[in-house]
Amino acid sequence: MFCSLSRLYRGLSRPTRRTTQLIWSSFSRSLVLSSQRRIPELSSFVARTNTCGELRSSHLGQEVTLCGWIQYRRQNIFLVLRDFHGLVQVIIPQDESAASVKKILCEAPMESVVQVSGTVISRPPGQENPKMPTGEIEIKVKTAKLLNSCKKLPFEIKDFVKKTEALRLRYRYLDLRGVQMQYNLRLRSQMVMKMREYLCNLHGFVDIETPTLFKRTPGGAKEFVIPSREPGKFYSLPQSPQQFKQLLMVGGLDRYFQVARCYRDEGSRPDRQPEFTQIDIEMSFVEQTGIQSLIEGLLQYSWPSDRDPVVVPFPSMTFAEALASYGTDKPDTRFGMKIVDISDMFRNTEVGFLQDALSKPQGTIKAICIPEGEKYLKRKDIESIRKFAADHFNQCSLLGKLRLECADLLEARGVVLRDPALFSFLWVVDFPLFFPKEENPEELETAHHPFTAPHPSDIHHLYTEPQKVRSQHYDLVLNGSEIGGGSIRIHDAELQHYILATVLKEDVKLLSHLLQALDYGAPPHGGIAIGLDRLMCLVTGAPSIRDVIAFPKSFQGHDLMSNAPDSIPPEELKPYHIQVSWPTDSETKRVH
């Protein structure tokens, strides 16, 4: 795979996968990006005058000092130097008087770090390289310094070199030198910066850090625990700053946001990380539409300028409609192929299994129409659809999965259903407030979290038929992935107590501070959290969220570079009054 890191500091255009040669950034040092945005100084405070990637014909004749990695050397005459910003060709001097410079540049192994000083000159006619942003010039070197020599690498720093993910994670510091990771991390930094500008500078939000050493929340079975120096007392790493942001509203902070580190211990789950980041937002005196407009503006403002602009407002769909038409609460609305209820067509059918289905309470017959399916799908495709349906039989999400499966099949046959350049945002609203518990459907559990406010039109059901109550929760869906969710919260202590104690049967003692806070002049409030890792994954088109995180854990939760988690000598556990309960042999066998 080849990439171009073009205009990273201007238009943030993304690496295209089509270019057939490694092309680095074109970059102009003009001071003004747009009417307001200055291009950052990339060589302030350091031992270079310029970056490798920025040099152009306009620099001809300038004396420059560059620092970078040796990417490539040819015939001991040409050397290509690389920094984060691009590549530049350096001419190794051949005359006797420069023997020491030649020696340094010819003997240094690839990926060694050097500093060179010299003059920017034109390439001889015919030797320009139009595929290289610096391809019109080269550097006539006068002095060179070996800053660090490189040993034999476990893999080459070239994007076309295929590496296993385990190898990439083990040598993450080498993997980060590649164009795609540089692009992903820099784009992430810049999008978050623009989100901050929108929230802080345009709308007066206050960036407030909340603690991560907190206390177990009710039902917080996925929270990491941290022993304290008091025997038997533990902190927990919270799954979100939910309680704190509500308490900030009670504290009159009015508009809070935080790029918040959150923690969730889900064991081994692919494409999940034990720590992750969310754009966490809460506002007082707000309703659902207010939060939605805020987020639409936020994404519009921070969206990379080389993509199609984000169109607002986003369409909205009820939970019921999403389930009925797409078989999921996170529909991919880039394509149609909706689920259609065709029960009426079969009211008088004599086909036995259809009769059976319709005779059941709420029994229906539903279908997905695959446009030109006859033309594109082969017999074995139909077979695989049939098998897929049989494998997922009796799962209520079957039709939603089947729709995506059919889309995969069509795309494998060359039909473009889901344009990768298309970003299709959708609000899903009017979720149920409670779901019946899977293990005991007589009892209810909260659909999202216990602080979600009931829908005002359904509040009368709460005390009689709580399962009928819809909530003021909203999810933000992008291309079939949930990238955010939030709600208007309960600000009435009595209502909160009723839902916790009577409906959910939770131990209210664990939340007594929050209940008390609601009694002391809590304003109406609501908020949302956007999953930053998932969002960046979709924006960059990365195959995994590990590609938009500098140092991710493997899907077993390991840091393959440093080998974390690791053993700790028992004496270092002593101050925390804990000891390891080693599993017995039989338990170990059961685990593995």
Q: Cis (ω within 30 of 0) for the bond into 313?
A: yes
Stretch that binds its own copies, among 46-54, 160-168, 343-351, 433-441 (CB under 8 A): 46-54
Q: Tell me whether residue 134 or residue 277 sits nearer to its own copies (CB atom).
A: 277
Q: Tell me whether residue 115 or residue 349 sits nearer to its own copies (CB atom).
A: 115
Q: Tell me whether residue 377 or residue 488 sits nearer to its own copies (CB atom).
A: 488
Contact 325, 336 (CB under 8 A): no
Q: What angle do CA 503, 509, 512 make, to 5 degrees?
A: 95
Q: Is residue 48 near its own copies by the rule CB under 8 A?
A: yes
Q: Is residue 111 near its own copies by the rule CB under 8 A?
A: yes
> What one-character DSSP code corresponds to residue 452?
B
Query: 234 CB contacts (<8 Å, ≥6 apart)?
Result: 216, 225, 226, 227, 228
Name residues contacting its own copies, limited to 119-148 (CB under 8 A).
Answer: 147-148
Beta strands 444-446; 434-436: pairing state: antiparallel
Stretch that binds its own copies, among 73-81, 213-221, 335-343, 421-429 (CB under 8 A): 213-221
| Residue 545: Cβ within 10 Å count | 21
Q: Build a one-symbol-per-residue string for 527-566: x at contacts with its own copies by CB under 8 A, - elsewhere.
A: ----------------------xxx-x---x-x-xxxxxx
Amino acid at position 448, single letter = H
Among 67, 96, 94, 61, which residue's Cα sits nearest to residue 82? 67
Name residues contacting its own copies, limited to 219-258 (CB under 8 A).
Answer: 221, 224-237, 243-244, 247-248, 250-255
Name residues contacting its own copies, limited to 21-40 (CB under 8 A).
Answer: 36-38, 40
Element containing residue 368 per DSSP (H, E): strand 366-368
Stretch that binds its own copies, among 313-321, 377-385, 421-429, 519-527 (CB under 8 A): 519-527
Name residues contacting its own copies, limited to 76-95 (CB under 8 A).
Answer: 83-84
Q: Build a one-symbol-per-residue string for 252-291: x at contacts with its own copies by CB under 8 A, - elsewhere.
A: xxxx-----x-x-x-x------xx-x-----xxxxx--xx
Smallest distance from the beta carbon of 273 to its own copies, in angstroms? 9
Alpha-carbon 471 to chain mean position: 27
List 294, 488, 528, 545, residue binding its own copies (CB under 8 A) = 294
Q: Is residue 352 near its own copies by the rule CB under 8 A?
A: no
Amino acid at position 402, single letter = L
Q: Is residue 574 near its own copies by the rule CB under 8 A?
A: yes
Name residues contacting its own copies, limited to 466-495 (CB under 8 A).
Answer: 491-492
Q: Is residue 172 near its own copies by the rule CB under 8 A?
A: yes
Give the total of residues touching its own copies (CB under 8 A): 135
- The CA-to-CA distance between both ends of the chain, in Å, stands at 37
Among 470, 330, 482, which residue's Cα sits nearest to residue 397? 330
Among 448, 444, 406, which residue's Cα sits nearest to residue 428? 448
Q: Tell me whether residue 91 or residue 226 sits nearer to its own copies (CB atom).
A: 226
φ, ψ dihedrals at 293, nearest 5°: -65, -40
- The Cα 496–Cα 500 span in angstroms is 6
